[in-house]
A and B are shown apart, each in its own frame.
Chain A
């Protein structure tokens, strides 16, 4: 499809950039904050050019202090601003974890609804880019366990663009996990489209034999798995969750009632991960529909390994296909 006035072919990082630009343009209360987000445009250039066009008071380079970034964003939100903060890498969010969990997540409830905290915390997450320690983690389950937060992760440029718009407009704090290994993947973005609900899953490939559920960086892999399985005569459905909290169990249930088999794929460790929650709830909801136990493919209960080993750690085509085979063998 050729680019039109409203449709652009954008890399995922650039789609977020344009979405942030649109938000800054539309609402003077929107602020961008983080380490290196200004002149450098972020270490992944997601905020490239924004400070130049919107100034240092809208696009704010912060001290290197993650708790400070989130804590001051809370204060700014209390004053009526809508801060979008960047945590440089997944593994660096933990100094801010206290502010996110004990303050950001709870203040609306503590104030009996009088205080709203429309703060977006952007976290480039996941592996596959050959990075050093603390630069490749997937901590989404640690946040999903906390009430008061919403957690989303786009898998493609169009969703990245629109989900960022919706996250900024949300009156709830949103943790926005960006699949950094997909930052450079391109796709069509219709900037005039009317987006679907932020927390609704999307069937990205229809199928009848088994459902693959994924979000963020693993959606593309699952589409590749489905394509490979198709060559073996297997018709897999792929569901892009898009949102980890709330999680769209209705869409998973509908798919599983059709395919009767479910494999959940994520990069995070399997143990106590989002796959565990999905498996438990889908077993409850679909016990009589399931032909096989819900299987999970993900990281191991081990620190994220050095880059030369990450391909062994991360779910890849063969590991997911193996799980598909096991599920279909029941």
Chain B
């Protein structure tokens, strides 16, 4: 069992408020960020070169048998997910969606972890897991219903073992833990994965899910995508220690993986899932990554973060990294990229058309499924609503 060493890492210093931040404090924060990076489990450098070192040895074997075809598959997944995400962002800008939470920059964390899962595993996402949804076979267009405002979910969680997006931060980690407790009771060897972000790590529910999962040895993997920003608040406003180290206090391993390295995310997640299946209990995976865009289309990252920061992360782009590797390894030819480009455009077109074709829900949907067994008040109010609606029809000459 590997728990990344804590000895080398010093707690980060708070960057302080903007007005009061001195040059010294800024330097401290930059230093802290740099010192955090060497702890990453990485299999592929930003230049696309395979890495072999003592830190990744335990995990590397989980990606050792990845075939060129599978590598191309991971690349395709990331490209198509990014294309879908870009289309959704554009649709929001065009007024077709009320809101969009972009995953730009987090493709490797999501595709790597998502492709590590088995069909019988169960996923509890937050609201940004479009890439994981893609891996689970959820139609991307279905993800857009709630953002368009035609429903609050839009897919059957049990069709793809992919739970509904959860908006309240961190709530789903407890659902995942409870579900995993049930998996263990059933004697099944499937595993559960809960996605959440660095901001959610501050929530009590996440702490409680760590407690419950450890106490009951639940087969759950906590997959934290530390994308550095919780809307406008940096990770330093959430924690004084690297997030993966939180796991130690609960008695299970935590590991930080390069979240822009799809191979490392695949390998580390497979390792964590195997632990869960073997009855070894929960694991915390911190995928160290970066949200390239805004938190959602409602905020403006230029107000709270520096251009240089984004530029530094652009150099670590997850898709570019795998492309370099594929090209250097002669695993692809130009035809592959051209076909994928055409496929991307087709996906964007299909999503665009699907969104625009989405009908508004029936008015009576307000009253549907409030209760499984019905409720007298809902019945009464539905009847009142129907009478009110009918009154308009009458005034209109019965049309």
Asked whether any CB of chain B lies closer than 8 Å to the CB of A246, the reply is yes
Produce 1/0 per residue, A203-229, CB < 8 A to B: 000000000000000000000000000
How far is it, in angstroms, between the C-alpha of A79 and the C-alpha of B180 when the chains are bound?
8
Whether the pair A99, B174 counts as a contact (CB closer than 8 A) is: yes
Q: Tell me whether B180 and A246 are in contact (CB under 8 A).
A: no
* Chain A residues with CB under 8 A of B1: none
User: Known: A68-B208, A109-B370, A111-B153. Is A78-B178 also a contact (CB below 8 A)?
Assistant: yes
Q: Is B368 an interface residue (CB 8 A)?
A: yes
From A67, A81, A113, A246, give the contact of B368 (CB < 8 A). Answer: A113
* CB-defined contacts of A111 to chain B, threshold 8 Å: 153, 156-157, 164, 369
**Residue A303 is within 8 A (CB to CB) of chain B in the complex:** no
Are B171 and A98 within 8 A (Cβ)?
yes
Measured CB to CB, the closest approach of chain B to A170, in angstroms, equals 6
| Residue among B157, B208, B209 facing the most chain A CB atoms (10 A cut-off) | B208
**Cβ contact within 8 Å between B205 and A99:** yes
Residues of B within 8 Å of A57, CB to CB, are 185
B373 at the A interface (CB under 8 A): yes
Collect the chain B residues with CB atoms within 8 Å of residue A115's CB: 157-158, 164
Mark out the residues of chain B between 127 and 154 whose CB falls within 8 Å of any chain A CB in the assembled complex.
151-154
Pairwise interchain contact A150-B375, C-beta atoms closer than 8 A = yes
Residues of chain A lying within 8 A (CB to CB) of residue B212: 62-63, 65, 68, 72
Q: Which residues of A have CB within 8 Å of B377?
A: 245-247
Partner of B174, one of A67, A80, A116, A199: A67
Task: Please indicate the chain A residues that have their CB under 8 angstroms from the CB of B181 in the complex.
Answer: 72, 75-76, 79
Tell yes or no: A71 within 8 A of B by CB.
yes
Q: Is A130 an interface residue (CB 8 A)?
A: no
Query: How far apart sit A108 and B181, CA to CA, in the bound complex (Å)?
Result: 21
Distance between A215 CB and nearest chain B CB, rounded to angstroms:
16
Quick check: is B235 within 8 A (CB to CB) of the other chain? no
- A68 with B174: CB separation less than 8 A: yes
B252 partner residues in chain A, CB cutoff 8 A: none
Cross-chain contact of B171 among A80, A103, A247 (Cβ < 8 A): A103
User: Could you say which residues of chain B place their CB within 8 Å of the CB of A107?
Assistant: 164
Most chain B beta-carbon neighbours within 10 Å: one of A75, A102, A112, A246:
A75
Chain B, residues 152-189, CB within 8 Å of chain A (1/0): the string is: 11101110000110101001011111111111011000
Closest-CB distance, B133 to chain A (whole angstroms): 15
A301 within 8 A of B: no
CB-CB contacts below 8 Å: B348-399 with A: 368-373, 375-378
Closest to A79 in B: B182
Is there an interface contact between B178 and A98, defined as CB atoms closer than 8 Å? no
Residue of B158, B163, B368, B372 most packed against chain A (CB within 10 A): B372
Asked if B57 is an interface residue, CB under 8 A from chain A, the answer is no
Residue A73 at the chain B interface, CB threshold 8 Å: yes
Q: A72-B212, A75-B177 are in contact. Are A110 and B152 (CB under 8 A)?
A: yes
Is there contact, CB below 8 Å, between B179 and A78? Answer: yes
**B21 at the A/B interface (Cβ < 8 Å)?**
no
Q: For A299, what are the chain B residues with a Cβ–Cβ distance below 8 Å?
A: none
Do B163 and A78 have beta carbons less than 8 Å apart?
A: yes
Contacts of B373 in A (CB 8 A): 170-172
Min CB distance B304 to A, Å, is 27
Q: Is B66 interfacial (CB-CB < 8 Å)?
A: no
Using CB atoms, name the residue of chain B closest to A75: B178
Q: What range describes how many residues of B lie at the interface?
A: 35 or more
Give the residues in chain B near A172, CB-CB below 8 Å.
Answer: 371-373, 375
Contacting residues, chain A, for B205 (C-beta < 8 A) = 67-68, 71, 98-99
Give complex CA distance A95, B377 in Å: 28
A315 at the interface (CB under 8 A from B): no
| B174 (CB) vs chain A CBs: closest residue | A71
Contact assessment for B211 and A116 in the assembled complex, using a CB-CB cutoff below 8 Å: no
For the complex formed, measure the closest distance between the CB of B241 and the CB atoms of chain A, giving whole angstroms. 22
Chain A residues near B177 (CB-CB < 8 A): 68, 71-72, 75
A248-B157 CB under 8 A given contacts A71-B178, A113-B369: no
CB pair A109–B375 under 8 Å, yes or no, is: no
Which residues of chain A from 209 to 266 have any CB-CB distance to chain B below 8 Å in the complex? 245-249
Q: Which residues from chain A contact B68 at a C-beta distance below 8 Å?
A: none
Are B175 and A71 in contact, with the CB atoms below 8 A? yes
Residue B215 at the chain A interface, CB threshold 8 Å? yes
Contact, CB under 8 Å: B182 / A80: yes
A68-B212, A81-B185, A111-B157 as given contacts; A75 in contact with B372, CB under 8 Å: no
Cα A34 to Cα B186 in complex, Å, equals: 20
Is A308 positioned at the interface, with any CB of B under 8 Å from its CB? Answer: no
Q: Is B73 an interface residue (CB 8 A)?
A: no
CA distance A235 to B316 in the complex (A): 82
Q: How far is the CA of A52 from the CA of B197 in the complex (A)?
A: 41
Shortest CB-to-CB span from A182 to chain B, Å, is 26
* CB-defined contacts of B375 to chain A, threshold 8 Å: 147, 150, 172, 245-246
CA of A246 to CA of B379, assembled, Å: 11
Chain A CB within 10 A, most for which of B152, B171, B178: B178
B38 at interface by CB-CB < 8 Å:
no
Say yes or no for B16: interface residue by CB 8 A criterion: no
What CA separation (Å) do A211 and B361 show in the bound complex?
Answer: 44
Cβ proximity bits B198-219 to A, threshold 8 Å, 1 near / 0 not: 0000001100110110010000
Do the beta carbons of A99 and B179 come within 8 Å of each other?
no
Q: How far is the CB of A150 from chain B (nearest CB, A)?
A: 7
Q: Which residues of A contact B182 (CB under 8 A)?
A: 75-76, 78-81
A110 touches B153 (CB 8 A): yes
The residues of B that contact A108 with a CB separation of less than 8 Å are: 369-372
Let me know if A114 and B175 touch, CB within 8 A.
Answer: no
Chain A residues with Cβ below 8 Å from B168 are 98, 102-103
Cβ–Cβ < 8 Å partners of A120 in chain B: none
Pull 9 A–B residue pairs with CB atoms less than 8 Å apart, ordered by A.
A63-B215, A68-B205, A71-B178, A81-B182, A98-B171, A98-B205, A99-B171, A99-B205, A148-B371
Binding site for A on B (CB under 8 A): 151-154, 156-158, 163-164, 166, 168, 171, 173-183, 185-186, 204-205, 208-209, 211-212, 215, 368-373, 375-378
- Residue numbers of A with Cβ under 8 A of B are 57, 62-63, 65, 67-68, 70-81, 95, 98-99, 102-103, 106-116, 147-148, 150, 170-172, 199, 245-249
4 closest Cβ contacts across the A-B interface? A75-B178, A71-B174, A79-B182, A72-B178
Apart from A71-B175, A111-B156, A115-B157: 16 A-B pairs, beta carbons within 8 A: A62-B212, A67-B205, A75-B178, A79-B181, A79-B182, A81-B182, A102-B168, A109-B369, A110-B153, A111-B157, A113-B368, A115-B164, A147-B370, A172-B375, A199-B376, A245-B377
